[in-house]
Structure 1
Amino acid sequence: MEQSKGRRLILCPLPLQGHINPMLELAKILHSKGFSIAIIHTNFNSLNPSTRNPHFTYHSIPVDLTETEASIKDLTVVLSILNAKCVEPFRECLAGLLSDGVHSGNPIACLISDPFFDFTRSVAESFELPTIMLRTGSAASLAVYAAFPLLKEKGYLPISDSRLEIPVAELSPLKVKDLPTMTNCDPEVFYQVITNMANEPKASYGLIFNTFEDLEGHALATIRQKYYPNIPIFSLGPFHKCGPTTSSSSSSLLAQDQSCISWLDTQAPKSVVYVSFGSIASIDQAQFLEIAWGLVNSGQPFLWVVRLGLVQESNWLEKLPNEFTEALNKRAHVVKWAPQKEVLAHPAVGAFWTHCGWNSTLESICEGIPMICTPCFGDQMVNARYVSDVWKVGLQLEHGIERGEVERTIRRLMVEEEGEEIKDRALKLMEEANLCLKGGGSSYQSLDGLIQHILSL
């Protein structure tokens, strides 16, 4: 701690909610170990100044998306626009911070960046500043992304509808339908974006994961041996459990509705199904109605996050029939956004119906909450397969969203014997997540290793 006191780090998060959260959680962890933290961020999806960590310095670069650019459905195009727009403003900001460091006699030790920001490492390199990458998704999904050239060579990519159920022998237990894909996107462009991202860490000074060895030891071993043998790999998650405890709202881009906590206080222990599909995913109106009726027909109380923009061509709940609204009032609560970590830690929550983004998956594992999985795009399909078939702490809706299957799956998890076994495994995995952070645990040791590595650069 004394060695790192005052040593400065620059962190640069990709401006999407699922990438901002772990980057800022990592910043809190490193600050608690004595490092001084500077955050470079874009005007696009800029953090609310009132919720920023007062111990960090924030440096905004004048990069925003026009209304037209922000409305583009193809996320790979949005990423390409951001990467192109950010290069020069980032270079200027970094030059200023490095100059300040020299003049103050307090030099910057390294940059920590997101590999989807594929310009940051080369810009930092031009200033002879070492870069360490933070992969904000699972280790298993990066192992899949790193295998994209092989998967293309073997004919698994691009994905064809006729081959969805075929097992991918090189990546057991995945099937073709579990391979990452992106909606509204040219498969060739997606392939290029992913291979660029997977290649970025190879030229960096290290790679950090928000995961732990007991959860993803096999994937981490594959990454270390096969894809990134020449750089140190640090698995020091779950971040949100190893940093100092602060308000969970500090990095949320959306206003969190705290009314759901007081509603949960009125519910029986382990009785509520919490439903949230993250900050980007969208569903059509037919799926929205199937979800609604499946939830009502299950007989369980539920807390449902219906984010603005979740339902295509809809403002909010106006597509729900009146009889559903009547059923809703009896044993349900609907909000536009929820304080998710607080919700999952609440004793009333018994299951989480999730899109299987990595932050959501890890937060659920850390609270011992079994999952119902409806992956939407990207690495969510890989995460969902691991939840259901490797860790066996959840169930997948394998045949799409249909009210009968929704009802049956909720009942399997909440009231049937199969659900009890899944809950037992979820609680064991929660214990492992807690143990890895304690003295001598794998994440505890990995954090020590990261600190020594940064100080050696």
Structure 2
Amino acid sequence: MENHTETTVDRRRRVILFPLPYQGHINPMLQLANLLYSKGFSITILHTNYNKPKTSNYPHFTFRFILDNDPHDERYSNLPLHGMGALSRVILFNQYGADQLRHQLEQELSAKDEPSVSCLITDALWHFTQSVADSLSLPRLVLRTSSLFCFLIYASIPLLDDRGYLSLSDNTTPFLDGLGYHDLSDNKRLEEQVEEFPMLKVKDIVKMGFKREKDGVGGVVDNMVKQTKASSGIIWNSFKELEESELETIRRDIPAPSFPIPFAKHFTASSSSLLEHDRSFFPWLDQQPPKSVVYVSFGSVAQVEEKHFMEMVHGLVDSKQLFLWVVRPGFVSGSTWLEPLPDGFLSEKGRIVKWAPQQEVLGHEAIGAFWTHCGWNSTLESVCEGVPMICSPFWGDQPLDARYVSDVWKVGVYLENGWRRQEITSAIRRVMTDEEMRERASVLKQKLDGSLMKGGSSYESVESLVAYVSSF
């Protein structure tokens, strides 16, 4: 972890940051906030009451809670918490949030006892914030919490829709399978390459789970792309050497400057966790041989059916590998926690916990592989620690990340046929024993570490961002 000494300044400039209220978006935004604070800026965080972070972990920040303050506003009650349905909250805030945000920003801009505001930095999915910032002549930068490659795919959704990809169905996707989308599972088109992005298969596009409806997720993504291009700058949770050609494309096509910064190497995400970490397993983990344990975690939102959970259970047992498995309460649909587990499953072979400090686990010498949903934070954290991956994506950017892990960087195996115990067992054994894969993962880690040194790409990106924000 890079050690940032606080710059001695009088904090006359303030940055307002507005994360999306989901774990995978809160983490990088608060890591960015810590980075800017370490460079001398005063920090104000706007946040919804929904999924609000533990403010006591951030005594150096000012928090303002907005948008869902009214307990009588029925628009925001009883909204889904899992899967694609969780985005309904994002859709609503984008539709109705402008007036409240404008009012809050007007107060911040006119506050006499606060430092002057340099700019607003919002999650890219808060696309409604661009027009609000424009109306106040306030520069808006965006934080894009997934890969540069993902942004290029999202920007190409109209083209991919014209090719008919978004109307296909697939029964290997955990998210879609749970909704019973089985119509065209034998369609040979699913295995074809995507012409414009030959590293992808058509089924990777289908697995994203998007339809191009204007009022739903497709509309949010379409507007996100447009308003990101209209922003004053884009901050990426990535680094140049990982996505060099994608960065070149974006810098050619978008006039706003881009700043790729791998936040996990600057500040840990543990303080922004919405769930309490269980650390009780560390004495057990400390006793295991190097590279002997499979770490399993599928993020903060995903949910599976019990039949798929049991395939995971048998796949793990049959691999005969040591494991540490994060099973979030509610992860198994219809269960509170571990009710479906067969008797005797937990033996000396493994541990199950409700939540874990992931970066610390991935950096532990006993970890030999990471079985992941391939959310971008998890993917990048694994790259940061040189840990090869077993990939089981659910939706959104995850299948794109999984394809890159397996076919472009070649540091993992993509379980692209859903939950099948034999394939799970085979993938775990392969990743735990493939020395060439482990070496490629180690090389990526070395490139990342090099980028953080003085004169390296990530170091220069931080310096450029600080200078840019200071210029407003």
TM-score range, shorter chain: over 0.9
2:329 to 304, 308, 314: 308
Once residues 213 and 426 of structure 1 are traced to their aligned partners in structure 2, the CA distance between those partners, rounded to angstroms, is 16
Q: CA deviation at 1:66?
A: 4.6
Cα offsets for 1:156-210 (capped at 9, x unmatched): 3333442211111101201111126555x75523322211111111211111101
Is the 2:80–2:88 contact (alpha carbons within 8 Å) kept by the matching residues of 1? no
* Superposition pairs of residues 279-294 of structure 1, within 5 angstroms: 279-294=300-315
* Superposition pairs of residues 46-125 of structure 1, within 5 angstroms: 46-51=52-57, 53-61=58-66, 63=68, 66-71=76-81, 74-100=85-111, 103-104=112-113, 106-125=115-134
Once residues 315 and 330 of structure 2 are traced to their aligned partners in structure 1, the CA distance between those partners, rounded to angstroms, is 21
Once residues 221 and 338 of structure 1 are traced to their aligned partners in structure 2, the CA distance between those partners, rounded to angstroms, is 36
* AA in 1 matched with 2:233: G
Q: CA deviation at 1:76?
A: 3.6
Say if 1:182 and 1:174 are closer, same or farther in 2 by CA, change over 3 A. Answer: closer
Say if 1:34 and 1:84 are closer, same or farther in 2 by CA, change over 3 A. Answer: same
Is the 1:254–1:337 contact (alpha carbons within 8 Å) kept by the matching residues of 2? yes
Once residues 371 and 345 of structure 1 are traced to their aligned partners in structure 2, the CA distance between those partners, rounded to angstroms, is 14
Once residues 174 and 338 of structure 1 are traced to their aligned partners in structure 2, the CA distance between those partners, rounded to angstroms, is 32
Q: CA deviation at 1:105?
A: 7.5
Name the residue aligned to 2:280. Answer: 259
Is the 1:180–1:381 contact (alpha carbons within 8 Å) kept by the matching residues of 2? no
Partner of 1:314: helix, strand, or coil?
coil
Name the residue aligned to 1:210. Answer: 237
Pairwise CA RMSD of aligned residues? Answer: 1.9
Name the residue aligned to 1:242. Answer: 266
Is the 1:256–1:339 contact (alpha carbons within 8 Å) kept by the matching residues of 2? yes
Name the residue aligned to 1:436. Answer: 451
Q: CA deviation at 1:11?
A: 0.4
Name the residue aligned to 2:141. Answer: 132
Say if 1:70 and 1:82 are closer, same or farther in 2 by CA, change over 3 A. Answer: farther
Once residues 28 and 178 of structure 1 are traced to their aligned partners in structure 2, the CA distance between those partners, rounded to angstroms, is 35
1:378 aligns with 2:403: no
TM-score when scaled to structure 2? 0.89
Name the residue aligned to 2:408. Answer: 390
Is the 1:36–1:56 contact (alpha carbons within 8 Å) kept by the matching residues of 2? yes
Say if 1:3 and 1:170 are closer, same or farther in 2 by CA, change over 3 A. Answer: farther
Is the 2:241–2:447 contact (alpha carbons within 8 Å) kept by the matching residues of 1? yes
Structure with higher helix content? 1
Deviates most, 200-209 or 161-170: 161-170
Q: CA deviation at 1:96?
A: 1.1
TM-score when scaled to structure 1? 0.92
Q: CA deviation at 1:372?
A: 0.2
Partner of 1:173: helix, strand, or coil?
strand
Say if 1:84 and 1:71 are closer, same or farther in 2 by CA, change over 3 A. Answer: same
Give the unaligned 5+ runs of structure 2: 1-6, 70-74, 170-183
1:143 to 146, 149, 152: 152
Say if 1:4 and 1:399 are closer, same or farther in 2 by CA, change over 3 A. Answer: farther
1:404 aligns with 2:430: no
* AA in 2 matched with 1:165: E
Once residues 49 and 289 of structure 1 are traced to their aligned partners in structure 2, the CA distance between those partners, rounded to angstroms, is 38
Name the residue aligned to 2:257. Answer: 232
Is the 2:48–2:66 contact (alpha carbons within 8 Å) kept by the matching residues of 1? yes
* AA in 2 matched with 1:345: G
Cα offsets for 1:22-70 (capped at 9, x unmatched): 000011111111111110111011112332x221111111516754124
1:223 to 250, 262, 270: 250
Query: Percent identity at matched positions?
Result: 49
Deviates most, 441-450 or 65-74: 65-74
* AA in 2 matched with 1:148: I
Is the 2:151–2:225 contact (alpha carbons within 8 Å) kept by the matching residues of 1? yes
Once residues 397 and 345 of structure 2 are traced to their aligned partners in structure 1, the CA distance between those partners, rounded to angstroms, is 35
Q: CA deviation at 1:77?
A: 2.2
Q: CA deviation at 1:369?
A: 0.4
Is the 1:72–1:78 contact (alpha carbons within 8 Å) kept by the matching residues of 2? no
Q: CA deviation at 1:261?
A: 2.0
* AA in 2 matched with 1:147: S
1:19 to 17, 25, 35: 25
Name the residue aligned to 1:41. Answer: 47
Cα offsets for 1:255-298 (capped at 9, x unmatched): 11111222211211110000000011111111100100111111
Is the 2:82–2:303 contact (alpha carbons within 8 Å) kept by the matching residues of 1? no
* Superposition pairs of residues 150-165 of structure 1, within 5 angstroms: 150-160=159-169, 161=184, 162=187, 163-165=189-191
Once residues 10 and 327 of structure 1 are traced to their aligned partners in structure 2, the CA distance between those partners, rounded to angstroms, is 48
Once residues 89 and 167 of structure 2 are traced to their aligned partners in structure 1, the CA distance between those partners, rounded to angstroms, is 21
* AA in 2 matched with 1:192: G
* AA in 2 matched with 1:171: F
Name the residue aligned to 1:340. Answer: 358
Name the residue aligned to 1:273. Answer: 294
Is the 2:290–2:365 contact (alpha carbons within 8 Å) kept by the matching residues of 1? yes
Once residues 321 and 23 of structure 2 are traced to their aligned partners in structure 1, the CA distance between those partners, rounded to angstroms, is 30
**How many residue pairs were aligned?**
441
Give the unaligned 5+ runs of structure 1: none
Name the residue aligned to 2:431. Answer: 413
Say if 1:159 and 1:2 are closer, same or farther in 2 by CA, change over 3 A. Answer: farther
Once residues 181 and 295 of structure 1 are traced to their aligned partners in structure 2, the CA distance between those partners, rounded to angstroms, is 24
Q: CA deviation at 1:106?
A: 2.9
Partner of 2:272: helix, strand, or coil?
coil
Cα offsets for 1:120-152 (capped at 9, x unmatched): 121122111110011011111001001112222
Name the residue aligned to 2:176. Answer: none
Is the 2:295–2:323 contact (alpha carbons within 8 Å) kept by the matching residues of 1? yes
Once residues 17 and 68 of structure 2 are traced to their aligned partners in structure 1, the CA distance between those partners, rounded to angstroms, is 17
Name the residue aligned to 2:177. Answer: none
Partner of 2:27: helix, strand, or coil?
helix
Is the 1:242–1:437 contact (alpha carbons within 8 Å) kept by the matching residues of 2? no
Say if 1:71 and 1:343 are closer, same or farther in 2 by CA, change over 3 A. Answer: closer
1:171 to 197, 200, 225: 197
Name the residue aligned to 2:38. Answer: 32
Once residues 348 and 30 of structure 1 are traced to their aligned partners in structure 2, the CA distance between those partners, rounded to angstroms, is 33
Cα offsets for 1:389-448 (capped at 9, x unmatched): 000110111222111111111111113xxx111000001101111111110100111111
Is the 1:63–1:86 contact (alpha carbons within 8 Å) kept by the matching residues of 2? no
* AA in 2 matched with 1:281: A
Partner of 1:423: helix, strand, or coil?
helix
Once residues 48 and 381 of structure 1 are traced to their aligned partners in structure 2, the CA distance between those partners, rounded to angstroms, is 31
